């Protein structure tokens, strides 16, 4: 594996996964989950019990909360969850610590950045707008922007086109294995975000990532310190 300095010199654009990488969205997702569980007569969950599933989408949240229910029940509760989430999306979500500073640094250095998420546009774009990022992102690719979502290369390559940066000069940051597989499929530099919604069974060092960041502060230092 090449030295991290070599990767840094090759990075001319940055792409982020949204949930669990750029933004802490679990509070809103779990709130919507609990509203749905209450309506269906099920006990509610604590944030720490199901947060790790937030990176895998709404059905994964329901299945984590109700693993023994049949799929049709899980899917019905998922639809309730999405209705509630549409209403509260972004109310209690925020950028992870140090990432606002990182985005400011990227702006200062004229390094374009964007988002590639499997979240559908009807949820992703209002959330990005509430985070005051819409005008700053050079690419916003949702789960329904292309025929195939991550880990397929299609959304990654579309984002690269919008950044006007070659894929092999883009760092893609994600907190799930599929994120790093997507980066690999698109010939991007993969960065594993260990501060995200990893579960106890996740093994990020086995993911196809060139770079590993234990914290968002480590990511910030990677850029700022290398520039000094």
* Cα distances (angstroms) measured from residue 32 to each of 8, 15, 133, 183, 191: 39, 27, 23, 30, 30
- Write down the pLDDT at residue 52: 93
Residue 228: strand, helix, or coil:
coil
Tens digit of each residue's pLDDT (9 = 90 or more) over 12-30 = 999 999 999 999 999 999 9
The model's pTM is 0.94
pLDDT at residue 3 greater than cutoff 60: no
Tens digit of each residue's pLDDT (9 = 90 or more) over 35-67 = 999 999 999 999 999 999 998 999 999 999 999
Tens digit of each residue's pLDDT (9 = 90 or more) over 188-212 = 999 999 999 999 899 999 999 999 9
User: In sequence order, which ranges of 121-172 are alpha helices (DSSP H)?
Assistant: 121-130, 154-163
CATH superfamily of this structure's domain 4-24+93-226: HAD superfamily/HAD-like (3.40.50.1000)
CA torsion, ordered 152, 153, 156, 161, to nearest 10 deg: -140
Tens digit of each residue's pLDDT (9 = 90 or more) over 155-185 = 999 999 999 999 999 999 999 999 999 999 9
Which residues are part of the catalytic machinery?
17, 19
Band of residue 150 on the pLDDT scale cut at 50, 70, 90: very high
**Sheet with 189-193, side-by-side order of all strands:** 139-141, 113-116, 13-16, 170-174, 189-193, 211-213
């Amino acid at each position: 594996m090449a030295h991290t300095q070599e990767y840094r010199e090759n990075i001319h654009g940055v792409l982020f996964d949204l949930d669990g990488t750029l933004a802490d969205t679990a509070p809103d997702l779990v709130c919507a989950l609990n509203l749905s569980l209450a309506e269906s007569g099920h006990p509610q969950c604590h944030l720490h019990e199901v947060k790790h599933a937030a990176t895998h989408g709404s059905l994964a949240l329901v299945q984590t909360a109700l693993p023994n229910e049949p799929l049709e029940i899980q899917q019905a509760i998922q639809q309730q969850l999405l209705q509630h989430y549409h209403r509260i999306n972004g109310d209690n979500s925020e950028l992870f610590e140090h990432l606002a500073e990182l985005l400011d640094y990227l702006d200062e250095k004229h390094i374009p950045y964007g988002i590639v998420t499997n979240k559908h546009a009807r949820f992703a774009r209002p959330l990005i707008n509430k985070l005051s990022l819409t005008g700053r992102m050079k690419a916003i690719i949702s789960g329904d922007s292309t025929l195939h979502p991550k880990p397929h290369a299609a959304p990654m390559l579309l984002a690269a086109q919008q950044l006007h940066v070659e894929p092999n000069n883009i760092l893609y940051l994600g907190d799930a294995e599929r994120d790093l597989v997507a980066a690999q499929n698109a010939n991007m530099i993969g960065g594993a975000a260990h501060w995200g919604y990893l579960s106890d069974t996740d093994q990020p060092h086995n993911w196809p990532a060139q770079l590993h960041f234990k914290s968002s502060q480590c990511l910030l230092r990677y850029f700022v310190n290398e520039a000094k």
